Amino acid sequence: MTASGSVGNVTPQRAQFGEALQLRSGGVLPAYELVYETYGTLNASGSNAVLVCHALSGSHHVAGTYADQPKSSGWWDNLVGPGKPLDTNKFFVVGINNLGGCFGTTGPNCINPATGKRWGSDFPFVTVEDWVDSHARLADRLGIDTWAAVLGGSLGGMQALAWTLRYPDRVRNGMVIAAAPTLSTENIAFNEVARQAILTDPDFHGGDYYEHGVVPVRGLRLARMLGHITYLSDDAMAEKFGRKLRHGKHKYHFEVEYEIESYLRYQGDKFAGFFDANTYLLTTKALDYFDPAFEYDGNLQAALARAKANFFLASFSTDWRFSPTRSREIVYALLHNQRTVSYVEIDSSAGHDSFLLDNPTYHAAMRAYFQNIEV
């Protein structure tokens, strides 16, 4: 193993964009702000930049820690750093929070300059393609003409794919991890249940709960609990919690009886404490709408014909939310278009969440692929 370390203390940066952004939904953002982090150093020719796209609940904080918060490691800290598979000694890595987010980038919990109030229900629907467009402007500003790679897992993987289609000349390698060409019907169904939990929470107030000084905690909590079940595998849950009882016997009550209940409640409460309900709604909708083949009568091969990047895809054996079959659909469509593509199917018991873990084969494959990217 190569000695590897953390990128250390990091500080988020902000970029303001005054030019209006036309959105797919027909809406327009007159101006917006992106919050982002960078690790490593951009080389003179700007050829070593890697964009990391985040998943549903992720953020721009990909790696490193904040000086005053020792437990604030970035969400992909095991992958990104000096000597790590995405080596910051070689690459300049950028993480950006998506529009509609709740971590500093312009989103529903920000002030709408037109009204002086928080956007709330007025925030327009945003799509994966809108995020790509908004991030392309940041790339311009940072002096990045072409990304050495755009990488992402889950929703982030869809975003990496969208980059290769929307800006084919600006991405040399598309790295699409635990993703899919579209959500499955079942995925949309889960998202809808999660959204209904939020939308029917009496504290939701049509999305303008900020005005009422409340948060739809119950809905957000339920949405996250449901989501968590789908990110794990049956095996992983059984292994971690089994039928373990909190009190060692049946208490015949609705408080925590089984440890899995405790885990889900904890995850739900934690999430509801920091994530914005409107962001959850908008992001799950962006996932639902993502469908590069939609304008090609569902023909994914035709949709991917524009891509010029080389591709790396990875899926995980027990991921039933974004199953290996769905990744293979992308692989075969890329092969049809004679793209350079490699695909790994990692044996892992951890379900969809596997893409965030440091499975040795997975990381070895990523390391090998990144090592062969010329900068």
By CB under 8 A, residue 372 contacts another protein: yes
Give yes or no for a contact between 12 and 61, defined as CB atoms under 8 angstroms apart: yes
**How many residues in the shown chain lie near another protein by CB under 8 A?**
21
Position 373, amino acid: I
Q: What is the DSSP string of 246-285?
A: SSSS---SSS--BHHHHHHHHHHHHHHHHS-HHHHHHHHH
Closest distance of CB 361 from another protein, Å:
4
Q: Which is nearer to another protein, 245 or 368 (CB)?
A: 368
Cβ closest to another protein, residue 176 vs residue 331: 331
Q: Give the span between the Cα atoms of 274 and 235, in whole angstroms.
A: 29
140 strand-pairing partners: none
Give whichever of 41 and 361 is closer to another protein, judged by the CB atom: 361
Q: Which is nearer to another protein, 288 or 345 (CB)?
A: 345
- 345-364 residues in contact with another protein (CB under 8 A) are 345-347, 361, 364
The H or E element spanning position 329 is: helix 324-336
Query: Is residue 69 within 8 Å of residue 169, measured between CB atoms?
Result: no
Active site residue 319: yes
Number of H helices, E strands in the chain: 10, 14
> Which of 342, 349, 357, 375: binder of another protein (CB under 8 A)?
342
**Does position 11 bind another protein by CB under 8 A?**
no
Interface with another protein, residue 375, by CB under 8 A: no
Specify whether 253 is catalytic: no
Within 8 A by CB and 6+ apart from 123, the residues are 100, 107, 108, 112, 278, 282
Strands 173-177 and 149-153, sheet pairing: parallel
Burial (CB < 10 A; 0-12, 13-18, 19+), residue 82, is middle
Report 206-245 residues binding another protein (CB under 8 A). none
- Of the candidates 344, 350, 351, 352, which one interacts with another protein according to CB under 8 A? 344
Q: Toward another protein, which CB reaches closer, 245 or 364?
A: 364
Cα Rg, the chain, nearest whole Å: 20
Catalytic residue list contains 121: no
Look-up of token digits 């902000």: 14
CA dist., res. 159 & res. 126, Å (int): 13
Which of 352, 353, 354, 363 is catalytic? The answer is 352
Partners of residue 94 on adjacent β-strands: 38, 51
Least distance (Å) between residue 324 CB and another protein:
9
Tell me how crowded residue 91 is: count the other CB atoms within 10 A of its CB.
Answer: 23
Instruction: Select from 123-131, 234-242, 290-298, 366-374 the region that touches another protein (CB under 8 A).
Output: 366-374
Candidates 48-56, 82-90, 158-166, 334-342: pick the segment binding another protein (CB under 8 A): 334-342
Residue 123 β-bridge partners: none
Nearest distance, CB of residue 168 and another protein, angstroms? 19
Give the span between the Cα atoms of 302 and 296, in whole angstroms.
Answer: 6
Which parts of 270-329 interact with another protein (CB under 8 A)? 328
222 vs 333, beta carbon nearer another protein: 333
Site for another protein in 140-179 (CB under 8 A): none
Q: How far is the CB of 183 from another protein (least distance, A)?
A: 21
- Taking CB under 8 A as the criterion, the residue among 336, 337, 349, 357 binding another protein is 336
Q: Which of 154, 233, 348, 354 is catalytic?
A: 154
Q: Can you state the angle between helices 217-231 and 277-289, rounded to 10 degrees? A: 40
**Which stretch, 105-113, 193-201, 231-239, 330-338, contacts another protein (CB under 8 A)?**
330-338
Token pair belonging to 305? 């014909």
Q: Quick one: which of 17, 66, 263, 332 contacts another protein (CB under 8 A)? A: 332
Catalytic residue annotation: 154, 319, 352
Catalog residues that contact another protein under the rule CB under 8 A: 328, 331-332, 335-336, 338, 340-347, 361, 364-365, 368-369, 371-372
